[in-house]
Amino acid sequence: MKRFLLIPLVLFLSYTIADNRNECEVSISYQSGWNLISLPVEVGDAHYQSLFPNSIEGTLYSFTDNVYSGETEMNLGQGYWLFFNTEGTEILTGECVNSLIISMNEGWNMISGGSYSVDISDIGDPGGIIIENAVFGFDGNYFTPTTLEPGIGYWIKTNNTGFMIIGSAPPEGAIEIFPGDDINYIVDNNPEGTAFIIKAGIHRMQEIYPKNGNTFWGETGAILNGSRILTEFETEGGLYYVANQTQGDWYGGSDICQEGWERCNHPEDLYFDDEPLRHVNTLADVAPGKWFFNYDNDRIYFADDPTGHTVETSVTYFAFTNSASSVTIQNLVIEKFASMVMMGAVGSTGGENWLVEGNEVRLNHGVGVFVRSESIVRNNYIHHNGQMGVGTGTEEGFWVTNVLFEANEISYNNYAHINPGFEAGGSKFSLTDGLEVIGNYVHHNIGPGLWTDIDNTNILYEGNWVWWNQNEGIVHEISHDVVIRNNDVRYNG
């Protein structure tokens, strides 16, 4: 799936967002002379001579906007020059830094990782701004690193402003799950609080019911895919068809589709090389780029020649769904689930206190991510979902409290063309108290960008870029007690 507009070129402030858990101890060795160093843990006193008492006073320098600046306090995600008269080692103890979101200027930047080693290839670059082979470390001479090591600073060059993402470390003692394994069987046969590593590869048609306290952490290249590959094609009346498709027919309500998209309320999709085709209402409407599911005879019809193409149809409703609480979902690609309208591929009927972080959520028919109270949705790329990017919900009559959506890219959602006045586009939040929507890039959604509708209170919209959405940029409707500040809202309908 191509991305046409990525990170805005203006209004980028210098910031770092960190996810901190537990306590870490990091040993940092330094040489006599200049060193590129960093702060790898969260500490109470970040003065450089409290951290490195053998350093020479007045020699801590950062580099921002092509200018060196003398510093006294060290920040997470930032690299620094620091001078020592003799070599030595310092041990720093503090809260672990599992993940970082670091703002980047165009050109050279001095950056750092967190509390764990991270492969250079695992650095998240949602804007495609990092220049290939332009990362350097320094050990007396410049060298090309393969990993970012804790406590060390690095030079990195970008072709634009934007941000980079350094993901979380894999959970200790986790159970590994390989492609082909029955994920939910493994979850069922382990206790609450178990952590799982989803190994690289495609895990197809898996619906996961977490237990309280479960963690699901994906290796680079780990994909949860809710679709079935179609390989056996026949022809009839000038069209191709695939038989024995018994999934569906779940119906998502009437009068919610835009004209010409009358089957938007059916959760099944057909994909040609990762592009969803338009689901039409009758066999006679099938043409290139369109398809028809005859639910009566279990056949999928389409006009495009499948030769040499990957053809998939969504089958599984949800990637993660259950009433469990304190569930963590990190570093996964979650795609092509047949999630229903107003329900999420991630978290649709989930419990409270979910952390959904560092994932790519795409090409799911309904909502990408849907969470309840005390949850955090952070640092995800949520795009090209059929109805909407993100939302909140709970059982009728209950409030959703204290939810944070932070530093996500939410874009190109509502490919199914559900009527935006019903509920579609970037987001919709209802019956919330204490919702915070901070630092997200919300663009090119077919519908509103950010929308609070019906009895939302104590809401904060801050530091979001909301561009090129078909309807309103930010709308606060039938709600009250909202702060909307320091957002960049432009080019919306």
pLDDT digits (tens, 9 = 90+) for 320-366: 999 999 999 998 999 999 999 999 999 977 789 999 998 999 999 99
Q: Does position 15 have pLDDT exceeding 50, yes or no? A: no
Whether 210 and 322 have beta carbons less than 8 Å apart is answered as yes
Distances (CA, A) of 305 to 87, 240, 284, 302: 67, 8, 17, 8
Whether 201 and 179 have beta carbons less than 8 Å apart is answered as yes
Q: How confident is the model at residue 169 (pLDDT cuts 50, 70, 90)?
A: low
Higher per-residue pLDDT: 383 or 252: 383
Q: Does position 154 have pLDDT exceeding 50, yes or no? A: yes
Q: How confident is the model at residue 433 (pLDDT cuts 50, 70, 90)?
A: very high
The whole-number pLDDT of residue 244 equals 97
Q: Does position 13 have pLDDT exceeding 70, yes or no? A: no
Domain boundaries, the chain: 16-166, 175-226+316-490, 227-314
The whole-number pLDDT of residue 168 equals 67
Q: How confident is the model at residue 397 (pLDDT cuts 50, 70, 90)?
A: low
pLDDT digits (tens, 9 = 90+) for 108-147: 999 999 888 888 988 888 778 999 999 999 999 999 999 9
Residue 46 region by backbone torsions, left for phi larger than 0, else alpha for psi between -120 and 50, else beta: alpha
Q: Is 283 exposed, middle or buried (0-12, 13-18, 19+ CB in 10 A)?
A: middle
Q: How confident is the model at residue 163 (pLDDT cuts 50, 70, 90)?
A: confident
Residues of the chain with pLDDT > 70, as a percent, come to 94
Instruction: Tell me the pTM.
Output: 0.78
The whole-number pLDDT of residue 10 equals 34
Q: Is 195 exposed, middle or buried (0-12, 13-18, 19+ CB in 10 A)?
A: middle
Fold observed for domain 175-226+316-490: Pectate Lyase C-like (2.160.20)
Report the alpha-carbon distance of residue 91 to residue 26 in Å, rounded. Answer: 6
**331 alpha carbon, distance to own chain's centre:** 8
Neighbours of 466 (CB within 10 A): 27
Q: How many CA atoms lie within 13 A of 161 on its CB side?
A: 13
The whole-number pLDDT of residue 9 equals 34
Residues paired with residue 176 on neighbouring β-strands, in sequence order = 197
The whole-number pLDDT of residue 20 equals 45
Structure tokens at 177: 């799950």
Least confident segment among 69-73, 209-213, 216-220, 344-348: 216-220
Residues of the chain with pLDDT > 90, as a percent, come to 80
Structure tokens at 166: 């350094």
Average pLDDT over residues 46-62: 98
The number of residues making up the chain comes to 493
Report the alpha-carbon distance of residue 439 to residue 247 in Å, rounded. Answer: 39
The whole-number pLDDT of residue 95 equals 86
Mean pLDDT of the chain: 92
Sheet containing 234-236: give its strands across: 234-236, 239-242, 299-302, 290-294, 278-279
Cα-Cα-Cα-Cα dihedral sign, residues 174, 179, 184, 188: negative
Distances (CA, A) of 145 to 26, 31, 117, 118, 324: 19, 18, 11, 11, 41
Closest CA relative to residue 438, chosen from 101, 166, 20: 101
Structure tokens at 109: 């930047």
Closest CA relative to residue 293, chosen from 269, 275, 312, 310: 269
Report the b/e string of 389-401 with b at 16+ CB within 10 A. bbbbbbeeeebbb
Average pLDDT over residues 179-198: 98
Average pLDDT over residues 463-481: 97
Higher per-residue pLDDT: 97 or 56: 56
Report the alpha-carbon distance of residue 11 to residue 285 in Å, rounded. Answer: 46
Q: How many CA atoms lie within 13 A of 262 on its CB side?
A: 7
Strands of 299-444, DSSP E: 299-302, 311-314, 328-330, 333-335, 344-346, 355-357, 360-362, 367-371, 376-378, 381-383, 388-392, 400-401, 404-406, 409-411, 425-428, 432-433, 436-438, 441-443
Whether 269 and 336 have beta carbons less than 8 Å apart is answered as yes
Report the alpha-carbon distance of residue 434 to residue 53 in Å, rounded. Answer: 42
Whether 62 and 110 have beta carbons less than 8 Å apart is answered as yes
